[in-house]
Structure formats: structure tokens, C-alpha cells
A and B are shown apart, each in its own frame.
Chain A
Amino acid sequence: MKIKMFTAFLVLLACGLGLIVLADNHEEEENNKLVFPKAYTTMKVSDGGKITGVVKFEGEVPKMKKLDINKDKVVCGKTDKYDESVVVGESMELKNTIVYLMDITKGKDFDAKANKPEIDQEGCKFTPHVQIVPVGVRLTMLNNAPITHNVHIFLNDADMGQDINKQQNRMLKKLRIKSIAEAGGPVEVKCDIHSWMKAWIAYVPHPYFAVTDEKGEFTLEDVPPGTYKLGYWHEACGTNNKEPQAVTVTAGGEVKQDFTLKLAE
């Protein structure tokens, strides 16, 4: 009898837990986003360490699709353009991966360069493909060609409020975009006028974010000593939100942490 009751107890408990899990249907969505600390305070970091590494791609490399430049061909079609959702180098290095600290709550402030984020639209292509923008900082869109673009940032997809959609007519070489107060993303930015133009913006609360370059390399500097969760995000490969990588940084030391990513299912 006791066993029976215990079983009944377990069954009910399982049901209860199941209900809670079911109720929390946001989880799936959150797996595509960055993870941020609840709060972040800045301080001077003098004995920080460094985290470096290389992100590589594993599996059959998807062929980079040539984009159909169907308008403003004289300017936009000068060079061939390819879909940049998976950019893999000769030794499988993966470009455009965000590598960052998920749970850092104290550390350095943004430097001057980070506080002036820009996306260039030269040749009707967003450069960089992944841009980090500190919260409360305005992004500048550059446009040196006499081509009209519209800057359409899909904030609503990440529950970050209403989308931004501003026309940058051919005479506006610079267009500043309002800052966002809360961290979130990455969110897509598109130009509806040139449908092939797509990029990503991450609104972040602290400076420990890096985007891998052509060599798949990233560097996070001036990290206060301690153990952190190291996360990544890639538009086609997803995140490691479920199993973040633990790294321990020592004063003045350098930690190496590589990642190997596969296409998300």
C-alpha cells in the first residue's frame, strides 16, 4: 500500500512538473537569443585576463548562394554577392559567430570604438554582417552611394518593441538610428528596397562580446578573474544556451577555448 501511494505521489508530481514545463513555452524561442546578466556594473579592470579561441564549422559546408541583384545593378551589382548566413574559411573557420560572457555582472565599460557602432551599406551590402550595439547607444547607418535604402530592424521578433523602419534616401550619407534601452537580440536588419540585404544586430549590456572574423578567431580582453559561462550565437548554427561552456580566467592569464559548430536542425 505504501508503495502504491508513493507511486501515486510520483505520478502527481510528474504531472505537476509537466504542467509547469508546458506553461513555459517561451523556452524554445529563448534558445535563439543571447543570454544576459540581470544587472551589470562597470569598474576599472587592471588585472584582467583574456579569452581567445577559434570557432570552426563541422559538417558539409553549405554552398554560399549567389544573390540575385535585381535592382540598382550599376552600383549594387559591381561585384558578385553571396548569402552570408554561413561563411566558412579554408580550414573550416566560421565567421560571424558571436562569442560572449553570459553571466558577467562586473567588468569594464565599453570603449570609444564600441560606442560608435556603424553599419555600412556600400555596394548594397551590410558590413559588418553581425554588429554589436551597446544598449543606450545609437547605431549609424552609412551610405556613400546615391542609392536609396530603408533600414528595417525587426525588434518585434525578439519582443523588443515595435520595429524600426526608416528610409535612408540617396542624399543621406549618414542616418542615426535610435538607441534601445534594453538588451536583446540578435535581431535582423533588412533593406526592403534591396531584398538581398540582411544583417544582424545584437543590443548588449556589457562589452564582453566578440564576433569571429574570417579566421574564425575571437578575443575577449580585460576579463576580471573568475569563472564564467562562455556562450556563442550563430545565425545558422544556433546557440549553446542549453550547455554553456565554463571558463576560468586568471589575473593576466589567457584562456583558450575553441568551438565547433554544426548547422542547427
Chain B
Amino acid sequence: MRVTFFVLFLLFSSLFTVILVAYAQETPEVSERGKEVYEESCAHCHGIEGRGDGSAAENLLPRPRDFTGGVYKIRSTESGQLPTDQDLFDIITNGMPGSSMPEWESALSANDRWELVAYVKTFYSGFQELEETETTPRLINLTGKVKYSEKSVEIGKVLYTDLGCIECHGNVGRGDGTSAPTLVDVWDFRTWPANLTQGWTFRGGSSTEDIFKRFIGGIAGSPMPAFEGDTFYHFGLTPEESKNFALLEKKVENEEELTEEEQEEYDKLYEKWDTTVLAALDRAEGTELTPEAQKIYDNAMKDVFEKSWHLANYVKSLSPERRPKSAIGKNVLRSQYKEGDLPTLDDAEWGTLTSSYYPLVGQVIVESRQFNPTIDSVNVKSFYNDTEVAFLFTWDDRTNNTTVEETEDFGTSYIDGLAIQFPVKVPKGPTDEKPYFLWGGKKPVYLWQWMASEPESIKELTAKGINNAEEQEDQGTVQVNSEYKDGQYRLWVKRALKTEDKKDLQIEPTVFVPIAFSAWDGANGDVDTKRGISSWYTFVLEPVPSSRRFIYPPIVALLSLGLLVGLRQFVQRRNT
């Protein structure tokens, strides 16, 4: 009996094995090394099975990529195509700026990164199908690049509006378009359009080619559409033909009678436009084009590519080439002396200064934390005179939140704000200890707290910790003015250099004063401790320029020269 049972058991276990083997065969051969590296370096975020559900995934936004759907944002391939191996390799190598994906160039050998590419591809069967059918993803044609020029930028700017980039990326590209607050990705997470004035935050790089590729191919998984040939107005018609055709179309629309000639022209242009669109559709559907159709398509695409390069040049023009250097060393904020009245918010005189750049990071030390800050930085300029100092703070925020609101899809939205932090007592030198950078500790800090709900007032606070701030009883006269426009706040603050209040900072020329920032983007859920912060920086009131600088240096130079000559003569005399 036992034996029969055993045999039966064997039979079933073999069946079991067969089933398992059958399932196992569905997954292609994996690269052992790739698996090893993946599980050690990638799985924490992307998950063991590549579903983007690793243990760290929850706090990340954008979320780590789920590899099982074959959706890849950053590609050099056309819309609807998978990325190339090189695309995957490049993302692993360079990381994705503005997301939690780091660069792996310094941590993994090139060989390991290639092994990873092979392993990551096993998570999605589409890659295998490509291999089986010996097809390669269709690359975006990068030839015919239009050189950067002011003229090209001008043409691109018009396209930016016409094509509707403005809807999400906003008037001047700060990602503050009217659709920006409602965007979600295909995984149903909130997503923000790129701030095109901050090229260093572009996930797939900010070279003109990178911008061109994102535009033509779209960003799969995000709301960013692909701008394919037939999404251009009158695809296939020359600008002149398009103009004529538009006039005729208008007539047809208004049910005006066309002359025989006009009708002929209309039919001809319609036919040309239609044929080109059909070629584009055939191509997108995977139908091989006839040589004739291919020629029509290629010809029409020349114009589309040219326009796209203009657009890429325009977008490129919106951002500095690199992320600005932070306000330390040479770039320290130096408040400039000015005789008489200090400039107000809209004074053109601010344009004569270059701003100092203070990068922000999410506050992740104290609950509740901000792991995904949306405010990149605060930029500051300053003037002072004999009695007062004025600051101009600017920072980008895609939305102007002036009230607390319950939103249906994105939870509570809070009020935007900025806090500028100084020590109450200025440290005596570089070695003298500063208060704790996070709103002070034993040593208190002096704060200016501004909220978008009261754009023309500011509160003076004293704080001994991030949760231990109080409004000063004696609210001195700090003058404030502010403006929100095109995705940017500008906040102007003016105060006397000296005050009677012992809890205030007293400012003196030439003394280096620590300064730090906290910024709240209400739409991003920032409130209380959840915010963007900076560490301590310093600023200084640049010494009053005086006429003495024209007297002393020449005297010193003359004296030095005299001394040198004297020394030479002394040496010569001793030698003889």
C-alpha cells in the first residue's frame, strides 16, 4: 500500500515539476551577473520582480519604474517603440536628474551596467519579441539639426504657443501651465510638467538633442504627448500651400461658393495633405510604405524636423546651461551699497545685480518629512544704504496657493510660503558656532516668515527649533511687497539695519551674516515641518566704496617698489 502511495506521490510531484518547468520556460534565460547586481543595487526601489514596488518605493516620487509594463520614459526611439539597449544603459549610467534614480557610473563597472540592461529587459516580454522577430526599435531621426540662433529661438517660441506646450509648461516655461495642477501619470500618481527654465531637473538630460527627442517621441507613461508629423497643422503642405488651404477651408466652412479654380486648388491641396497623413498612419501601424509614399513622408518630415529643432532651441534658451553655483565663496551674496532710497519691487535697478543661488532640499530630519520637494531654490539680490537693507527673493512654484483647500484627487493643498532665517547673534568669526540650521536650538534664530495668504505682510519670529518658534511680541517695521506671476514668486523685504529689539538681528557692513531658507509649496502638501530647506549660507553688506581706494593702493605700491629697490641696493652693496 505504502509503495502505491509513494508511486502516486512521485507521479504528482513529477506533474508538479512539469508545470513549474513549463512556467519557468516563459522567462528567458537570465544573466546571472545581471540578476546579482540587480538584486543588490536596484531591487530596493524597483522590486525583486521589477514591478517598481521595492521597500523604498513608497516614499519616492516619481515612483521607481515598473519594468513589467515595458513603459520607458526616456527613449531615443519614436512614440510607441521600446527603448534601445543604449537608452537603458545611458539611464543607468547617468541617472535621472530630479528623481531618486542616481547615476551608477561611479558605483558599477560598464560591464555590470550592460549586464543590468540585459536583466532588466527580461521583465517585459516585448523585448524578447523584438529579438525573436529580429526587429529593432525605430530611432528618432536626429539629422538636420538647426544650429542655435536667436532667429531659430524666435521661430521656436511661436511654435511653443501654437502647438500647445503652453497648456502645461506655462507662458515662460516654468511648468505652471493651466493644466499643470491636474496632471497624473499612467500609474495614477501626481506629476508636474518640467520647469523648462531649470534644465538641470530634466529627467532625460537637457541637451538640445535630448529636448528634441522628448518632444518628438513623447514621454511614455506621463501626460507628455508625442509630436508626430501629423500632429502638425497641415502636415505635408508648404507654408504657402498651408496658407492658401486655410483660406479655402474657411470658405468651405462658411459654405461660400468656391470658383472652379478654387475648387481645383482645394482638392489638390486636400489630396496632398491627406496622402501625407495617410503615409504617416501607415508607417505608425507598421505597414511598409511604397517608395513613393516614403518620399512624400520624408519630404514632409523635413519641415516637421526643422520646426522641432527650432522648438528645441527655444526650450534650450529658457534655461542656463548649468545649474547655477550656490552662494558660497565667490558667489556669496554681497549686498550693494546705494546712496538714498533703496529700489522697490518693480524697480529696474534690480536688473543690474546678478542673483545668488540657494539650492533647497526636502526636510527629512523631523516628522513630517518632505521627500519630494518641488521648489528647487531661492534666488536673492540685495541693496543697502546708510540705514536700511532691501532684499529681493525669487523662487519658482508652479501654483499660487493662498488658501488651505481640500482637493479631490491630491489631498489637502496648503498655503505657499517662505521663511528667511538669520541668527539672533552674529557669530564672531568662522569658528564661532552658528545656531542649529533647522530653525535653531539652544542658540535662537531670527526669522522672517512670509505666507502667500497675506502677500504684503511678514512676521518676525524667534525660534529655538523647528517646532519651537514664536512670533515676536514686538513686530518691528519690516516692509514687504510681493508678486506671483508665470510660476514665480518675487518677494521684496526692507528693514532698518539697526533696531531696538534685542531679539532682532542687527546688521553691520562688512560683517558676514549667516542666512538660510525654508520654502513651502502648498500644492505639494508642504505645511509646518514638511517643506524645502537650505543649510546655512552667508551674506555680507559689501563695504561702502570710498574714495580712499584710489589713494591707498598706489601709496602701498610705491612703498613696495621703494622697499624692493632699497633691498636690491642693500644686497648689491653687501656683495661688493
Interface residues of A (CB under 8 A from B): 1, 5, 8-9, 12, 15-16, 19-20, 23, 68, 70-72, 138, 148, 150-152, 154, 156-157, 161-172, 175-176, 178-179, 181, 192-195
Does the CB pair B19–A20 fall under 8 Å?
yes
The winner among A16, A166, A170 for most chain B CB atoms within 10 A is: A166
Minimum CB distance partner of A159 in chain B: B69
Please count the residue pairs between chain A and chain B whose beta carbons lie under 8 angstroms apart in the complex. 116
Interface string of B294-314 (1 = CB under 8 A from A): 000000000000000000000
Does the CB pair A193–B164 fall under 8 Å?
yes
Residues of B within 8 Å of A15, CB to CB, are: 12
Does the CB pair A170–B164 fall under 8 Å?
yes
Instruction: Tell me if B97 is interfacial: C-beta within 8 Å of chain A.
Output: no
Identify B224's interface contact among A165, A172, A195, CB under 8 A: A165
Minimum CB distance partner of B182 in chain A: A195
Does the CB pair B167–A8 fall under 8 Å?
no
Residues of A within 8 Å of B164, CB to CB, are: 148, 150, 167, 169-170, 193
Instruction: Tell me if B460 is interfacial: C-beta within 8 Å of chain A.
Output: no
Does the CB pair B218–A169 fall under 8 Å?
no
Residues of B within 8 Å of A12, CB to CB, are: 8-9, 12
The winner among B164, B224, B226, B231 for most chain A CB atoms within 10 A is: B164
Does the CB pair A162–B71 fall under 8 Å?
yes
The distance in angstroms between the C-alpha atoms of A151 and B226, with both chains bound, is 10
On whether A179 and B285 interact (CB within 8 A), knowing A5-B5, A150-B223, A162-B80, the answer reads: yes
The distance in angstroms between the C-alpha atoms of A157 and B66, with both chains bound, is 13
Closest Cβ–Cβ distance, residue B447 to chain A (whole Å): 35
On whether A169 and B281 interact (CB within 8 A), knowing A16-B16, A150-B225, the answer reads: no
The distance in angstroms between the C-alpha atoms of A154 and B187, with both chains bound, is 11
Instruction: Tell me if B178 is interfacial: C-beta within 8 Å of chain A.
Output: yes
The winner among B81, B186, B224, B277 for most chain A CB atoms within 10 A is: B186
Does the CB pair B12–A71 fall under 8 Å?
no
Instruction: Tell me if B4 is interfacial: C-beta within 8 Å of chain A.
Output: yes
The distance in angstroms between the C-alpha atoms of A195 and B184, with both chains bound, is 9
The distance in angstroms between the C-alpha atoms of A156 and B185, with both chains bound, is 13
The distance in angstroms between the C-alpha atoms of A23 and B21, with both chains bound, is 12
Does the CB pair B5–A194 fall under 8 Å?
no
Interface string of B15-26 (1 = CB under 8 A from A): 110010001000
Closest Cβ–Cβ distance, residue A24 to chain B (whole Å): 10
Does the CB pair B186–A195 fall under 8 Å?
no
Identify B223's interface contact among A23, A170, A192, CB under 8 A: A192
Residues of A within 8 Å of B5, CB to CB, are: 5, 8
Instruction: Tell me if B556 is interfacial: C-beta within 8 Å of chain A.
Output: no
Closest Cβ–Cβ distance, residue A212 to chain B (whole Å): 28
Identify B284's interface contact among A71, A170, A178, CB under 8 A: A178
Minimum CB distance partner of A148 in chain B: B164
Closest Cβ–Cβ distance, residue A126 to chain B (whole Å): 16
Does the CB pair A70–B182 fall under 8 Å?
yes
On whether A175 and B186 interact (CB within 8 A), knowing A162-B220, A164-B80, A193-B179, the answer reads: no
Does the CB pair A175–B223 fall under 8 Å?
no
Instruction: Tell me if B32 is interfacial: C-beta within 8 Å of chain A.
Output: no
- Closest CB pairs A-B (n = 3): A148-B164, A192-B223, A195-B182
Q: Which of B370-404 contact A (CB under 8 A)?
A: none
Interface string of B161-179 (1 = CB under 8 A from A): 0111001100000000011
Does the CB pair B285–A162 fall under 8 Å?
no
Instruction: Tell me if B557 is interfacial: C-beta within 8 Å of chain A.
Output: no
Residues of A within 8 Å of B281, CB to CB, are: 138, 176, 178-179
Residues of B within 8 Å of A154, CB to CB, are: 186
Instruction: Tell me if B1 is interfacial: C-beta within 8 Å of chain A.
Output: yes
Closest Cβ–Cβ distance, residue B545 to chain A (whole Å): 51
Closest Cβ–Cβ distance, residue B26 to chain A (whole Å): 10
Minimum CB distance partner of A171 in chain B: B233
Instruction: Tell me if B70 is interfacial: C-beta within 8 Å of chain A.
Output: yes
The distance in angstroms between the C-alpha atoms of A166 and B79, with both chains bound, is 9
The distance in angstroms between the C-alpha atoms of A68 and B178, with both chains bound, is 13
Closest Cβ–Cβ distance, residue A244 to chain B (whole Å): 29
Does the CB pair B230–A176 fall under 8 Å?
yes
Does the CB pair A1–B1 fall under 8 Å?
yes
Identify A9's interface contact among B8, B70, B220, B221, CB under 8 A: B8
Instruction: Tell me if B416 is interfacial: C-beta within 8 Å of chain A.
Output: no
Instruction: Tell me if B337 is interfacial: C-beta within 8 Å of chain A.
Output: no
Residues of A within 8 Å of B318, CB to CB, are: none
Identify A181's interface contact among B23, B178, B285, CB under 8 A: B285
Identify A169's interface contact among B8, B19, B233, CB under 8 A: B233
Q: Which of B65-107 contact A (CB under 8 A)?
A: 69-71, 79-82
Q: Which of B214-242 contact A (CB under 8 A)?
A: 218, 220-221, 223-228, 230-231, 233
Does the CB pair B226–A166 fall under 8 Å?
yes
The 27 sampled A-B contact pairs (Cβ below 8 Å) are A5-B4, A12-B12, A68-B408, A70-B182, A148-B163, A152-B223, A157-B186, A161-B80, A162-B70, A162-B82, A163-B220, A164-B79, A164-B80, A165-B79, A166-B226, A166-B228, A166-B231, A169-B233, A171-B162, A172-B233, A176-B281, A178-B284, A178-B285, A179-B281, A192-B182, A192-B225, A193-B164
Minimum CB distance partner of A65 in chain B: B408
The distance in angstroms between the C-alpha atoms of A12 and B231, with both chains bound, is 60
Residues of A within 8 Å of B57, CB to CB, are: none
Closest Cβ–Cβ distance, residue B525 to chain A (whole Å): 19
Identify A165's interface contact among B82, B225, B230, B408, CB under 8 A: B225
Does the CB pair B167–A193 fall under 8 Å?
yes
Does the CB pair B231–A169 fall under 8 Å?
yes
Closest Cβ–Cβ distance, residue A4 to chain B (whole Å): 8
Closest Cβ–Cβ distance, residue B236 to chain A (whole Å): 13
The distance in angstroms between the C-alpha atoms of A176 and B280, with both chains bound, is 10
